[in-house]
Amino acid sequence: MKIWVEVAFFIAASIADTEEPTYKSQPGNEKQQKDEQQDINFSDDEYPTGEVPLNSHFYIQRSPIEQRCYEEISKPGSLIRIKASQQTGKSSLLARILDQAKSQGDTIVTVDLGLAESEFFTNLSKFLRWFCDNVILELTTENQELQTKLVHKLDEHWKLAKRIGSMKTCKDYFERYIFPEISQPITLALEEVDKVFEYPKIYKDFFGLLRSLHEEAKRRDIWKKLRLVIVHSTEAYVPLDINQSPFNVGLAVELPDFTENQVKDLAQRYKVDLSPKEVESLMAMVGGQPFLVRLALYKIANAEITLAELLQTSPTSDGIYKSHLQRIESILAQYPELEAGMKEAIATTSQVELDKKTRSKLNALGLGIM
């Protein structure tokens, strides 16, 4: 995997007083394309950022990934693990998996671990209590009476944690109170799981609990009601017992970048006519990174920029990827070990020797460090 365009920005950001770029659009073809596209105006909700809506014409399937996920989520006690770098389609795929689960009659629960404040990671009991509270809130959004009942039961039940431990208490709460109240299967999606990796006091036991809940479905029918979907950007770089880790069971899904054919397909959906050489030039700049490709085609389709201009300005702070690249630069600046690792990757032409944690985090940013 190549190092993406962010590297060029990383280098350019260290050079002061960058000259204003001179646009050199190719005559003929691009001017004609720009004129033809003046009447194209994509609505604001189609701007290529965040989750691609379920009904969007611009969602590109990466077969057979979607179909495998749909088949897996229909199985009792299933577990799906989605891993991919940022802005490559994890949330969009998750939305489609959950839509499939809903269509088969499941109750949908989504818990975004990225929203957990640092105070909830001070100890396992507090974190698992936060986890249960959020499951309750998601389950009872339209049933205030049930929400009050389940919260009250949790308050009482959690007193057991001091005697039997919070992991057992959490598991027992699901069995005694949540499953009996919900007749349908429950698909539980956990987003931003990476955040837990940063808390040694939490991650080992929490991931062990997830593995245990998944394994229970093989032994007891009550746990067949639970289907898990775990979403994360980085590798599980923390040390985990292979018998306690949820990252080596279930269906593993890694989202690849767009292929050349998928880029061509997306261009056609945007009504952007690119020659094979132009597709090759675009991919030489941004690879098949879904967000970068889609943003490029969106801008070209809206006649905001030509391909020649895009290719010239993309590696600079004046290009269409300015905000995206500034975000990467800001993250590197906040974490010296990542900045140092990036500099080392830029400076060498051979495989970079980085520790697993640094390499994993850089890959999560989409920097493609091998």
Give me the CATH number covering residue 246.
Answer: 3.40.50.300
Q: Which residue has the higher pLDDT, 32 or 108?
A: 108
Residues 235 and 302 in one domain: no
Residues 44 and 91 in one domain: no
pLDDT tens track for 262-288: 999 999 999 999 999 999 999 999 989
Q: Which domain holds residue 283?
A: 6-14+25-50+257-334
Residues 103 and 203 in one domain: yes
Task: For the chain, list the strands marked E by DSSP.
Answer: 79-83, 107-112, 186-191, 226-232, 251-254
Q: In what order do the strands lie in the sheet with 251-254?
A: 107-112, 186-191, 226-232, 79-83, 251-254
Residues 287 and 316 in one domain: yes
Give the 3-state secondary structure of 239-269. CCCCCCCHHHCCEEEECCCCCHHHHHHHHHH
Residues 273 and 245 in one domain: no
Residues 75 and 220 in one domain: yes
Residues 325 and 261 in one domain: yes
**Across 2-11, 101-110, 169-178, 250-259, least confident range:** 2-11
The structural domain count of the chain equals 2
Residue 345 lies in a domain: no
User: 10 Å Cβ neighbour count for 255?
Assistant: 17
Residue 247 lies in a domain: yes
Q: CA–CA distance from 270 to each of 259, 289, 303, 321 (Å)?
A: 17, 17, 11, 19
pLDDT tens track for 320-332: 988 877 777 777 7
Residue 355 lies in a domain: no
pLDDT tens track for 35-78: 444 444 555 447 888 899 999 999 999 999 999 999 999 999 99
Confidence tier at 343 by pLDDT (50, 70, 90): confident
